[in-house]
Amino acid sequence: MTELHIPADVEYRTMNDNAEIVLARRYYRKDIDGNPIEDATKLFWRVAFAIASEESKYENTTVTPDTLAKDFYSMMTNMEFLPNSPTLMNAGTPLGQLAACFVLPVGDSIEEIFDAVKYAAMIHKSGGGTGFSFSRLRPKDSRVGSTGGVASGPVSFIRIFNTATEQIKQGGTRRGANMGILRVDHPDIIEFIRAKEREGEFNNFNFSVALTENFMKAVENNEDYDLVNPHDSEVAGSLNAREVFEILVQKAWEKGDPGIVFLDRINRDNPTPALGQIESTNPCGEQPLLPYEACNLGSINLGVMVKQDDEQPISIDWDKLNRVVHLAVRFLDNVIDASRFPLERITEMVTMNRKIGLGVMGWADLLFQLNIPYNSQEALNLAEKIMEFIQAEGRTASKQLAKERGAFPAYKESIFGERDLGPYRNATVTTIAPTGTLSIIAGCSSGIEPLFALSFARHVMDGEKLVETNPYFKTALEERGCYSRKLMDAITEKGTIVDIDYLPEDLRKVFVTAMDIEAEYHLKMQAAFQKYTDNAVSKTVNVPKEATVDDIRSIYWLAYEQGCKGVTVYRDGSLQSQVLCTESPE
């Protein structure tokens, strides 16, 4: 690789310790002996330069690539916005695959199943995650015409996808991630719901049951519903909807899996129904896509979208947020042009719709600074206000790009074209991702999640332990004269301060953690952001160990009532090996 020239006026940047560990292990380019040949400055300049260079192919552009590269660089190194991991890893490199989310179809034949395994492997190698619906596969034990034998059924084939994923360490970076979806009316649904009973099985998958509105009504009325064999569309039996729902809830209570997705709802928001139905999302649930579609995401760090004038209290800096939204939309649209996909079919689908997914991270950090408890009506109102702003400005930016570069090619046959809403450059603009690694790099709270704990250990990258204490919390304690080593030890053990009654009441209200927050507020927060998000919102409702099966049932039901597109739950301690734990002080 030729050495990339960094202009003299590009400021050198260093990262915080945890970010540096993650970047060094997973993101910096390496030589053949595995030694890093990049630092943070080089990495971000490589990305900024590669993405800005795409600008030169548009005649009507309103910006120059050089200035744009510097703007992109500042936006990323100031941790105002970060693109998804494959863009950070691969922009400006020969691989050049920059999207995080893919959905692949799985057809009902050995050839089609193994094609999907192969395509998934190619995507995982480049750092992307894959979602599949297995609903087209004929059920277990049904006849296979060509051989006279019997079929193995979806669950058995998913095992092959899981094993293949296990073996591909994404170019030495990370293991692949998958979403496996099965419709609730598939005859093998009970086997699917129970598939993750044994811990460690299907560990490279998130499982979700695709619930239909008909099914939810049948649960409500305690009725039976039909199971349909996808191979011949014949009714293959029936089950009591309430009983199926109960098993689903019970399994989610036991092991955190399966989650649920509402397919009818997702398809109601499908911007291009003429191109096909949506049958799956990406691994973490935030990005519904058509078969063979891919999407690149990026997240704005809300924690730094604030200002403090004179002696005024901290407030949201709407001008800054506006500037970053517009710049980020241009960035993500350029990523589509810069990206090279492992399959021609994917390139075709991506360039037809040009979907992008701009979202947020650092939401809990923002609330801390504004002194607003996560579990309050005020926080819900602010969530709607911010996301409405981002969606509206994001669409304005996409319209502006359409003027410069043309609408997305499928615009005319899209719901926007039919309603004559004016051309957009992108079929979708907003998505809220979980931002696992990105939030570590940006040093902020992840996605729209509350803090897991005020001080906690993350067990990451097979053996690395990153201890995190929320900086806003530490500052607040210091300002109020409450900071002491003894208190910090107590907090590291418990993770929360709600029960530490000698701390000021207002601190205990504002600095709430995932486990302090009533499940209802987790859900309402997801719904508040979903209201103004084109795609979907990734959220895990984290509940304490003591949560009951009834609690999980209420969460799933509320997700349905609140208009969410899906939801995932996790009860603390329900898996023996956990990623996030509060730690006893050593």
| HSE-up of residue 114 (Cα within 13 Å, Cβ side) | 2
C-alpha of 502 from chain center: 38
- Binding track, positions 262-301, relative to ligand B12; x by CB under 6 A: ---------------------xx-----------------
- Name the minimum Å distance from CB 584 to ligand B12: 16
Alpha-carbon distance of 498 to 364, in angstroms, equals: 16
Q: Is 174 in the site for ligand B12 (CB under 6 A)?
A: yes
Q: Based on the shown chain and the rule CB under 6 A, indicate whether residue 98 belongs to the binding site for ligand B12.
A: no
The interface region with ligand B12, picked from 89-97, 314-322, 434-442, 472-480 by CB under 6 A, is: 434-442
SS3 at position 436: helix
> H helices of 54-181, where?
65-77, 85-90, 110-125, 154-167
Q: Which residue has the tokens 């997700």?
A: 559
**Angle of helix 363-370 versus helix 471-479 axis, rounded to 10:** 10
Rounded Cα distance, 440 and 442, in Å = 6
Does 377 bind ligand B12 (CB under 6 A)? Our answer is no
For position 566 contacting ligand B12 by CB under 6 A, the verdict is no
Asked if 582 touches ligand B12 (CB under 6 A), the answer is no
CB of 424 to ligand B12, least distance (A): 29
Residue in 325, 298, 289 with CA at minimum distance from that of residue 398: 325
List the structure tokens of 122.
């190619």
579 binds ligand B12 (CB under 6 A): yes
Binding test (CB under 6 A) with ligand B12, winner from 83, 436, 443, 495: 436
Q: By CB under 6 A, tell whether 308 contacts ligand B12.
A: no
Calpha distance 72→427 (Å, rounded): 23
- The site for ligand B12, by CB under 6 A, has a size of 31
Residue 282 annotated as catalytic: yes
Q: Choose, from 284, 295, 444, 564, the residue flagged as catalytic.
A: 284
Residue 443 in the binding site for ligand B12 (CB under 6 A): no
Token reading at 537:
């919102």
Catalytic: which of 270, 282, 334, 353? 282
Q: Output the smallest distance, CB 52 to ligand B12, in A.
A: 27
* CB burial readout 363-402, b (16+ within 10 A) else e: bbbbbbbbebbbbeeebbebbeebbebbbebbbbbbbbbb
Task: Kindly write out the interface string for residues 218-257 of this chain, putting x where it contacts ligand B12 by CB under 6 A and - elsewhere.
Answer: --------------------------------------xx
437 binds ligand B12 (CB under 6 A): yes
* Residue 379 is a binding residue for ligand B12 (CB under 6 A): no
Helices (H), 443-585: 471-479, 485-494, 505-510, 519-530, 549-561
Q: Which of 77, 414, 542, 582 binds ligand B12 (CB under 6 A)?
A: 542
Is 577 an interacting residue with respect to ligand B12 (CB under 6 A)?
yes
Residue nearest to ligand B12 according to CB distances in the complex: 436
Is 163 one of the binding residues for ligand B12 (CB under 6 A)? no
Question: 300 - beta bridge partners?
Answer: 81, 360
Q: What whole-number distance in Å separates Cα of residue 225 and Cα of residue 216?
A: 10
* Residue 468 interacts with ligand B12 (CB under 6 A): yes or no: no
What is the Cα–Cα distance from 176 to 486, expressed in whole angstroms? 41
Give the CA radius of gyration of the chain.
24
> How many contiguous H segments (helices) and E segments (strands) does the chain have?
21, 19
By CB neighbour count within 10 A (0-12 exposed, 13-18 middle, 19+ buried), where does 76 fall? Answer: buried
Q: Considering only residues 130, 204, 281, 414, which one is a binding residue for ligand B12 as defined by CB under 6 A?
A: 204
- Binding of ligand B12 by 359 (CB under 6 A): no
Residues 275, 471, 580, 583: which binds ligand B12 (CB under 6 A)?
A: 580
- Is residue 139 a contact residue for ligand B12 (CB under 6 A)? no
Alpha-carbon span 158 to 462, nearest angstrom: 24
Q: Which of 417, 174, 118, 410 is nearest to 293 (CA)?
A: 410
Cα–Cα dist 249/243, whole Å = 10
**27 lies in the site for ligand B12, by CB under 6 A:** no
The CB density around residue 4, as the number of other CB atoms within 10 Å, is: 12
Q: Does the active-site annotation cover 284?
A: yes
Q: Is the peptide bond before 258 cis (omega within 30 degrees of 0)?
A: yes
Nearest approach in angstroms of CB 326 to ligand B12 is: 27
Query: Is position 38 an interface residue for ligand B12 (rule: CB under 6 A)?
Result: no
* Known catalytic membership, residue 286: yes
CB-nearer residue toward ligand B12: 426 or 540? 540
State the minimum distance, in angstroms, from the CB of residue 207 to ligand B12: 8
Q: Does 460 bind ligand B12 (CB under 6 A)?
A: yes
Q: 230 or 362, CB closer to ligand B12?
A: 362
**Segment contacting ligand B12 by CB under 6 A, of 135-143, 400-408, 472-480, 575-583:** 575-583
Query: What are the residue numbers of the active site?
Result: 282, 284, 286
Binding site for ligand B12 (CB under 6 A): 22, 174-177, 203-206, 256-257, 259, 283-284, 434, 436-437, 440, 446, 449, 460-461, 540, 542, 568, 570, 575, 577-580
